[in-house]
Structure 1
Amino acid sequence: MRNTRKLFLAGFLALAAGGGLAAAAGDIEQTGSIPAAAGVDRTDQRAWSGEDGASGHPLMTAAAIRAAVADFPHCIERMWPLAARHRISRESFDRMTARLTPELRIMDLLDSQPEFTKAVWDYLDILVNERRVARGREVLAKYSAQFDAAERAYGVDRYIIAAIWGVETDYGAIGGDRPVLRSTATLACVGRRQRYFRDEFIAALDILHRGDVRPDRFIGSWAGAFGPTQFMPTAFKRYAVDGDHDGRRDVIDSMPDLIASTANNLKKTGWQNGETWGYEVVLPGTLDFMLADRSRVMTIREWERHGISRAGGRAFPRPDDRAFLLVPAGVQGPGFLMLPNFKVIMRYNPSESYALAIGHLADRLRGGGPFVQDWPRYERVLTRAERLELQQLLERHGFDVGEPDGRLGAKTREALRDFQVRIGRIPDGFASAGVLDSLRAGR
């Protein structure tokens, strides 16, 4: 079986050595160990661009990607001892990996997630709209018995579960159709997140080895997430439950399993029963924006003493709850006081925009209205290259942004605030085109 894998890849590796992968990647057989009908990606059949990755990471250059592809069969073989420790048999390992090839189109997608690349208001426009709210209410009514059972068992708000379902796959309409095993194998051996995806690949092998999911149904996003609420393989192993008591954990086709498993995921990662995720707030002109940091947690009562009020003039129902202040669009946009459940949502996906979309959609499904305050839609959104440049310039000015990758998270926002203090501006941490110009000018 191992010789079969080497023979199958021989022509592919010859192309790698010759630099012809950009043209050839779309023509390689895509089945892996999954039937051909499931292996064809009907969502996006474009070949890899052959270009350096937008993240600027040394493992995302075209040359590094080609070198990793040339090493792909050896990379898969090096993971056998790890698979063996998870009690996957050698026969199963060989059978499931014999015909695997990397899908290089994924390299063009690795740094393009909309939650990290779009302005927060554009991202929310896409994911929280009247059509998605209406569809979510239909789903809540159709599966009300299953949501009832999950709320009783796990204490997790049904509207949050439905919102995750809606944001992740538009209630199952856009779940992806790439073979999970092939996607995770690609990312475990090629690109900048190999260590993370190595565990996902082994978990995917284990799921197939145990028969939890049928091979022809084990399809999902380019990152390996599957099912209507997009379980990563490791999350499936930790949190999936048998909600309908049929002896299988099926988060793809069983609605009781899907809803219960998503609730169990949130509960096990810290969901606080009876609490919401956060509140839209109005910021006073005198606010010290250095307080807008995840590490600055205070009671809502204390935030009120700093002049913060709830948007729409309503009172906060639990003034002793502890929260941090998030201002995703800076001084020009709305603010949000985020409770512990917001961080639980971020454990599902580590993006503030994503967690904000989940919380807001849940509120809309519950009967709430749109956000009260306007977003600064007149601001030009930085391109991917500009975001990376901004981080590199901050680093050059002596500020810690972690590893520059074009994603503007909490660490970049903190560095931006420190830079804004240095140049005498309001330290709101918003990555505007004006701030980038100031960084370029060294002032």
Structure 2
Amino acid sequence: MNQIRFLVTTLALLWMLVPDDVMAQQNYKSRTEAQFQSWLKAQWPTAQKNGISRQTFDLAFKEVKLNWRLPDLAPPGRKTRDKAKRRQSEFGSPGRYFRQDNINALVQRGRQMKKKWSKTLAKIERRYGVPQNIILAVWGRETSFGAVKIPYDTIRSLATLSFMGRRQSFFYPELIGALQILEQGHISRNRLKSSWAGAMGQTQMLPQKFLQYAVDFDGDGRKNIWTSPPDALATTANFLKQQGWQNRVSWGYEIALTPAVNCTLEGPHRMQPIKNWVNTGLKRTAGRKFSSPLLQGKGSLLLPAGLHGPGFIVTENFYVLKKYNESDLYALFVGHLADRISTNKQFIGKWQKVSTYTRAKIKHLQKTLQREGYNIGKKVDGLIGFRSRVAVGLYQNKYGLEKNCWPGKATLSRASR
């Protein structure tokens, strides 16, 4: 009896030592979890309207709890970090995105996968008109050809983000889409895995895109992009074809950064016949020439690091790749990896060391550029997209700074006056 009293007393004392803020946090999470469970139950009418059976609905949400470790959360009643402090790799220093050790490993593995799946890839290319190397490059970029483990429970992630994410209106349709995938029987509940943001399978596709573009290429009756490479690769090819991929047209060509290159002419809004660019003095690297058919095709200027890195003329197919992922650097990586799998030739131009800044500083610069009448894009976001690069170049030219279309120290210093 004395031992029991001692134990109870000890536990009570230990509980009293728990800081108030820890207890408050635990209580807050418990209340929020209860709200979440009520919210899940309330989604049944919407699910039912979208063809979800009660059995699938109950199975999908059985034992699902909030995932507090996800990025991009906005818990109810809590302050969240300034969006400007968060970083995305796609918008960091451009050169870091193209680490040679990483690319070399992907090239080697990509060639192995090309040999292993040669018949399947050939059939996919014939059916959809998308080059094998492009399909392989997407696969390699997304999951290292299926080697990367996809750890997140799709339903749990999308339910959490739909309930208390920053972009609830974006993620909620994806949650409904994931339920429809289960309803259609393409994958079992315990194998429905994705990235934290709901991108599924070996080539990372969101549920709504899956429902629209997924293909059963291996003929087993299921569209299985998780464990069937034929289905995953054909699904990617189908998506690119439906987005406008042009057969027998490259994604782009590296150019020499001669004085003829005007970095303020960058951007898809300046898409024009390549012969027009050549007439301004623009040249390909290593003495290569644009053939007559290529000269008739259209291209636009792409300078991811301004004049501090490789430059390119990119075609409309480059912007098809951007529909898979909207980052310029993502599309460039895929195009480059596809070329490397074929010829293993690196870029001629080098990624120079450039100044990088917090998104807060870039936001300040963008606001300055806006006040002076320059177009920096849809919004002030702290990201150095092509419109911001062009605006920087025009600003540099106006104030007699070196025009390189990249926000260096001199440019930010001038903008801070």
* Fold in common (TM above 0.5): yes
Q: Deviations over 1:117-141 (max 9, x none)?
A: x211110116852221111100100
Task: Answer yes or no: is the 8 Å Cα contact 2:253–2:284 preserved in 1.
Answer: yes
Deviation string, structure 1 residues 306-330 (Cα, Å, up to 9, x no partner): 1110111111231111011011111
Shifted more, 95-104 versus 348-357: the winner is: 95-104
Aligned to 1:101: 65
For the residues of structure 2 that align with 1:185 and 1:436, how far apart are their CA atoms? 42
Instruction: Tell me what 1:172 maps to.
Output: 146
- The one of 276, 281, 295 equivalent to 1:319 is 295
Q: Cα offset for 1:265?
A: 1.2
| Secondary structure in 1 matching 2:269 | coil
Note if contact 1:292-1:324 (Cα within 8 Å) is conserved in structure 2: yes
2:84 equivalent to 1:114:
no
Whole-Å separation in 1 of the counterparts to 2:336 and 2:94: 12
1:239 and 2:213 are equivalent in the alignment: yes
In structure 2, the partner of 1:260 is 234
Do residues 345 (structure 1) and 350 (structure 2) align?
A: no
Q: Is the 8 A contact 2:264 2:391 kept in 1?
A: no
**TM-score for the superposition, normalised by structure 1:** 0.78
Deviation at 1:290, TM superposition (A): 2.4
The size of the alignment, in residue pairs, is 384
Of 375, 383, 387 in structure 1, the residue corresponding to residue 358 of structure 2 is 383
Q: CA deviation at 1:236?
A: 1.1
Q: Aligned equivalents of 1:259 and 1:308: distance in 2?
A: 36
1:205 is the counterpart of 2:210: no
Q: Distance in 2 between matches of 1:362 and 1:291?
A: 27
1:140-219 pair list within 5 angstroms: 140-219=114-193
Residue 428 (structure 1) shift: 4.5
Q: 1:276 aligns with which of 226, 241, 250?
A: 250
User: How far apart, CA to CA, are the structure 2 residues paired with 1:24 and 1:122?
Assistant: 40
Structure 1: how far apart are the matches of 2:280 and 2:21?
A: 60
Query: Helix, strand or coil for the counterpart of 2:124?
Result: helix
Structure 2 distance, partners of 1:126, 1:238, is 35
Kept in 1: contact 2:268–2:301 (CA 8 A) = yes
Is 1:333 equivalent to 2:317 in the alignment? no
Give the letter for the 1:227 counterpart: G
8 Å contact 1:176–1:221 — kept in the other structure?
A: yes
Cα distance in 2 for partners of 1:134, 1:186 equals 38
Counterpart contact for 1:128–1:360, Cα < 8 Å: no
How far 1:425 moved relative to its partner? 3.6
Return the offset for 1:238. 1.0
Aligned counterpart for 1:86 among listed residues 45, 50, 64: 50
Change (3 A) 1:288 1:405: closer
Q: Counterpart of 2:305 in structure 1: which amino acid?
A: A
Is 1:20 the counterpart of 2:50 in the alignment? no
- CA gap 1:18/1:86 in 2 versus in 1, 3 angstroms: farther
State the distance in 2 between where 1:280 and 1:288 align: 15
**1:386: how far off?**
3.5
Write the distance in 1 (CA, Å) between the matches of 2:366 and 2:68.
27
Instruction: Specify every segment of 5 or more residues in structure 2 that has no aligned partner in the other structure, as ranges.
Output: 1-19, 74-82
Distance 1:70 1:216, change over 3 A: closer
Q: Which has the larger radius of gyration?
A: 2
What TM-score do the two structures reach when normalised by structure 2? 0.83
- For 1:6-62, what per-residue CA distance to the aligned partner results, in whole angstroms no more than 9, with x for missing partners? xxxxxxxxx9997526x998xx9xxxxxxxxxxxxxxxxxxxxxxxxxxxxxxxxxx
Q: 2:301·2:314 contact (CA, 8 Å) conserved in 1?
A: yes
> Would the alpha carbon gap of residues 358 and 212 (structure 1) be closer, same or farther in structure 2, given more than 3 Å must change?
same
> Could you tell me how far apart the structure 2 residues matched to 1:413 and 1:237 are?
37
Percent sequence identity over matched residues? 37
How far is the alpha carbon of 1:435 from its aligned partner? 2.6
Q: Secondary structure at the match of 1:309?
A: coil
Letter in 2 for 1:168: E
From the superposition, tell whether residues 86 and 429 of structure 1 become closer, same or farther in structure 2 (CA, over 3 Å): farther
Aligned partner of 2:347 in structure 1 is 371
Amino acid in the other structure paired with 1:272? Q
